[in-house]
Amino acid sequence: MKPGILGIGDALPPRVVTNADLVGELDTSDEWIVRRTGIRERHWLQGDETLADLATSACAAALRDAGKEPGDVDHVIIATITPDQLTPGLAPAVAAKLGAEHAGVVDLNAACAGFLYGLDHAAALVESGRARHVLVVGAEALSRITDHEDRSTAVLFGDGAGAALVGPISEGVGIAGFEFGYDAELAPLLYAERERPLLRMAGQEVYRHAVARMTEASERLLERLGLDATSIDYFVPHQANARIVIAVADALDVPHERVSFNVELTANTSAASIPLGLAAAQRDGRLPAGALVAMVAFGAGFVWGAGVSSWKDGAAIDKRGKAQKVKTRST
Ligand code: ACO
């Protein structure tokens, strides 16, 4: 069966933390944060709010968007580096809260690239016939592992959850392919220790590698699929920094009007970043059915990945003749 994205949903905690809120706590300014990162505000969980509840809301929205029920879900795959507890993972709690009674449940950790790994796994399950509907979730509470006294990272991170329902489609290219990579030697540039779980980042070096790897991975994938930037209707790079998004889009020649700039309102939400960007784009009318979407992410590990998928019903893409251009979905 050909796998595609059938529905998308997202959820952000009610508490909004603006740059102005941080200026009182840190030696920083709204002007610096906006100029260097593009971020204006972020959402943080507070009190006894849980990431499981947030992820469940995103999943429920994705099911509604797809016109499916919790009982239709065969697997829940959650990409996160910040589950509510060290163990168990988020997926069992989310499936139970959702009412997905017969689902397989698993968390995975590929940092900011986690959602793309989840999509790849889900596509393989659907394509092989081992599952029919798989919820792929990116959910993070990065405010829990942020050093709120370190101005170089405290302004960068937010909490949020996004979910996509993957299932069989009858027309269009569907989930077309992925390109993944890693460089473990550079892990010391971005990490959080178990003993003191706070994100530490060599910002400038991470920036440089992020731009290079996201560009390369996207180029390789587009070439393998027989596509170029003109084929891409919408581009969702991991939302870490607006300058990184612009640098990658420019290197690939994707016009800015076809690029997600969700970081302004969410900050960096790691694995949640891409599904949050997809959900926002659909809400804003920038993702019509059949659109060809490119996604790319880079984060701790370093681990990175790029993916291409058509959006929902592929009929529109066939009409424009783009489906024929995509060669294969295998990696
Ligand atoms: N407010 C004011 N000044 C600041 C702040 C702040 N919040 N933070 C740093 N500065 C200062 C620094 O101290 C430095 O001052 P100095 O020149 O007197 O030494 C100056 O600003 C410049 O600092 P840089 O670190 O060089 O700033 P840069 O422009 O590189 O921006 C940033 C830093 C935003 C972290 C950028 O490097 C970046 O985005 N890096 C990549 C992040 C990324 O891609 N992460 C992806 C994976 S992480 C994940 O997703 C979980």
| Residues 121, 61 share a domain | yes
Distance from residue 204's CA to the centre of ligand 1 (Å): 7
Report if residue 265 sits inside a domain. yes
Report if residue 252 sits inside a domain. yes
Report if residue 320 sits inside a domain. no
Distance from residue 46's CA to the centre of ligand 1 (Å): 26
- Residue 44's contacts (CB-CB under 8 Å, 6 or more residues apart) are 13, 15, 17, 143, 158, 159
Shortest-distance Cα residue to atom 39 of ligand 1? 241
| Residues 201, 77 share a domain | no
User: In the chain, pLDDT over 70 holds for what percent of residues?
Assistant: 94
- Backbone φ and ψ for 210, nearest 5 degrees, come out as -60, -45
Q: List Cα–Cα distances, 185 to 153, 182, 189, in angstroms.
A: 22, 9, 9
Residues with catalytic function: 112, 238, 268
| Residues 294, 207 share a domain | yes
| Residues 148, 6 share a domain | yes
Mean pLDDT of the chain: 94
Report if residue 58 sits inside a domain. yes
The pLDDT of 86-108, averaged and rounded, is 97
The pLDDT of residue 327: 59
The pLDDT of residue 171: 86
The whole-model pTM stands at 0.95
What range does the domain containing 226 cover? 175-310
Q: Tell me the C-alpha distance between 275 and 255, whole Å.
A: 21
The pLDDT of 92-103, averaged and rounded, is 98
The pLDDT of 226-240, averaged and rounded, is 96
* Tens-place pLDDT, residues 308-328: 999 996 654 444 445 445 654
The pLDDT of residue 35: 98
* Tens-place pLDDT, residues 234-279: 999 999 999 999 999 999 999 999 999 999 999 999 999 999 999 9
Is any atom of ligand 1 closer than 6 Å to the C-beta of 248?
A: no
pLDDT band (50, 70, 90) for residue 299: very high
- Backbone φ and ψ for 88, nearest 5 degrees, come out as -75, 170
Q: Which residue's entry shows tokens 């790849």? A: 120
Overall domain count for the chain:
2
| Residues 147, 13 share a domain | yes
Is any atom of ligand 1 closer than 6 Å to the C-beta of 82?
A: no
| Residues 208, 156 share a domain | no
The pLDDT of 19-47, averaged and rounded, is 97
DSSP string, 196-252: S---EE-HHHHHHHHHHHHHHHHHHHHHHTT--GGG-SEEEE--S-HHHHHHHHHHH
| Residues 305, 181 share a domain | yes
Report if residue 12 sits inside a domain. yes
Q: List Cα–Cα distances, 92 to 47, 165, 216, 324, in angstroms.
A: 22, 17, 36, 40
| Residues 117, 181 share a domain | no
| Residues 258, 295 share a domain | yes
Shortest-distance Cα residue to atom 3 of ligand 1? 28
Does the pLDDT of residue 330 top 70, yes or no?
no
Measured from the Cβ of residue 284, the count of other Cβ atoms closer than 10 Å reads 10
Report if residue 322 sits inside a domain. no
| Residues 289, 270 share a domain | yes
Nearest to 281 by CA among 156, 166, 165, 162: 162
Q: Which of 154, 169, 184 is the last residue of a domain?
A: 169
Strand partners, 237: 296
Strand partners, 200: 191
pLDDT band (50, 70, 90) for residue 71: very high
Report if residue 327 sits inside a domain. no
Determine contact, residues 112/301, Cβ cutoff 8 Å: no
Q: Tell me the C-alpha distance between 60 and 64, whole Å.
A: 6
| Residues 209, 157 share a domain | no
- Residue 165's contacts (CB-CB under 8 Å, 6 or more residues apart) are 5, 6, 7, 8, 62, 63, 65, 66, 68, 73, 133, 134, 135, 136
- Closest atom of ligand 1 to CA, residue 154: 7
Nearest to 58 by CA among 127, 3, 66: 66
Distance from residue 132's CA to the centre of ligand 1 (Å): 43
Does the pLDDT of residue 203 top 50, yes or no?
yes
pLDDT band (50, 70, 90) for residue 24: confident
What six digits make up the tokens of 54?
Answer: 């947030």
Q: Which of 117, 141, 169 is the last residue of a domain?
A: 169
The pLDDT of residue 325: 55
Report if residue 315 sits inside a domain. no
The pLDDT of residue 319: 47
The pLDDT of residue 96: 98
Domain containing residue 302: CATH number: 3.40.47.10
| Residues 148, 9 share a domain | yes
Q: Tell me the C-alpha distance between 250 and 232, whole Å.
A: 14
* Tens-place pLDDT, residues 109-163: 999 999 999 999 999 999 999 999 999 999 999 999 999 999 999 999 999 999 9
pLDDT band (50, 70, 90) for residue 78: very high
pLDDT band (50, 70, 90) for residue 77: very high
Q: Which of 124, 140, 169 is the last residue of a domain?
A: 169
Distance from residue 17's CA to the centre of ligand 1 (Å): 19
Shortest-distance Cα residue to atom 23 of ligand 1? 152
